[in-house]
Amino acid sequence: MANYSIHVLEYAAVPEYHVSGIIYGYHNQGYRKLPYAYALIRSEDHVALVDVGYNHKDYGKHLADKFGVRNWHSPRDVLSEVGLTPEDVDTVFVTHAHFDHFGSVEDFPNATFYIQERELAKWVWAMSLPDRMRWMMVAVDPGDILRGVDLARQGRLVTVDGDMQDVIPGVDLHAAYDSHTFGSMWVTVRNDGATPSQDTWVLAGDLIYVYENIEGDGGAVGVDKVYTPTGLATGSQTNLVLATEEIMKQVDYEKRRVVPVHEERLKDDFPSRNTSADLRISEICVADGANSQVN
């Protein structure tokens, strides 16, 4: 029994992102494409997104000109490819407050947003620090936080303190404090609704960018594979490794069940198609009775 369909929807990409930013210690390894994507979790009763992309209106041109971000498309365009509109989305899980995950909140007028309280509180603290410590607030857009005020006032922003089970049936949130960011979290879908589940999927946010973060080369330490964390950690790489272990435990160490949205090679492991706008849709699983969106 599968209650939810899960899709990864690309909405933009950096064609050449340096590999050392994706995988800790992988210096001088060149560049690779880094897709920007959000994950869609959909059942008959719910339409949920994991993250919502960046605010193209405010700095899309800057990102394109300065950093080579290409092929941005709005949530309306992206969701239309799977027969949905932004208005259909009722739940959004914000894995962390970086601009490319927490930016397009105003595009989802009917959604309730979930974010770790610590993520907000610690960003506020970080923003209060002297200039010489500015590194700690990299990639956070004060405008996103400001739009969060409006969400809170409308009762559509829920700050979560730690783990939270069954936010919608069978979907849990797990905190990974001081890892990629101060209050990152991942989303676990127990697709059979059971606890423990025999059909678990993890939407990892930026705790895991790509497969090497789970199965990095372990030659240097004499083993086949090691967790090799992402290059960027406002918290610590140690905490990223610990979070990875928790994630892998949840999926019984089956790599395929962990879905890193920045991973271009999802298309090799899951049925996928490219839209006419050259945006990839990867189909992680299909709910019972639902139709494929890629065939």
From candidates 83, 109, 162, 169, binder to another protein by CB under 8 A: 109
Look up tokens 């956070």; give the residue: 140
DSSP β-bridge partners for residue 188: 172, 202
Q: Which is nearer to another protein, 67 or 292 (CB)?
A: 67
Cβ atoms of 39 and 8 within 8 Å: the answer is yes
Cβ atoms of 78 and 62 within 8 Å: the answer is no
From candidates 49, 78, 92, 157, binder to another protein by CB under 8 A: 157
Distance CA 234, CA 181 (A): 5
Q: What type of residue sits at position 62?
A: H
Cβ atoms of 14 and 32 within 8 Å: the answer is no
| Extended strands (E) in the chain | 5-18, 31-42, 47-50, 91-93, 112-116, 157-160, 164-168, 171-177, 183-190, 200-203, 216-217, 225-226, 258-259, 272-274, 280-285
Helix (H, G, I), strand (E, B) or coil at 2: coil
243-282 residues near another protein, rule: CB under 8 A: 262, 264-265
20-39 residues near another protein, rule: CB under 8 A: 20-21, 24-34, 36
166-205 residues near another protein, rule: CB under 8 A: none
Q: Which is nearer to another protein, 225 or 256 (CB)?
A: 225
Q: Which is nearer to another protein, 1 or 149 (CB)?
A: 149
- Asked if 62 touches another protein (CB under 8 A), the answer is yes
- Asked if 212 touches another protein (CB under 8 A), the answer is yes
Q: Which is nearer to another protein, 24 or 38 (CB)?
A: 24
Q: Which is nearer to another protein, 164 or 287 (CB)?
A: 164
Cβ atoms of 257 and 49 within 8 Å: the answer is no
Cβ atoms of 96 and 148 within 8 Å: the answer is no
From candidates 1, 44, 45, 68, binder to another protein by CB under 8 A: 68
From candidates 42, 98, 190, 280, binder to another protein by CB under 8 A: 98
Give min distance, CB of 109 to another protein, in A. Answer: 6
- Asked if 142 touches another protein (CB under 8 A), the answer is yes
By CB under 8 A, how many residues form the interface with another protein? 77
From candidates 71, 74, 90, 139, binder to another protein by CB under 8 A: 139
DSSP β-bridge partners for residue 183: 177
From candidates 52, 63, 92, 185, binder to another protein by CB under 8 A: 63
Task: Report strand pairing: 91-93 vs 47-50.
Answer: parallel
Q: What type of residue sits at position 92?
A: V
- Asked if 140 touches another protein (CB under 8 A), the answer is yes
Q: Which is nearer to another protein, 109 or 169 (CB)?
A: 109
Other Cβ atoms less than 10 A from the Cβ of 100: the count is 24
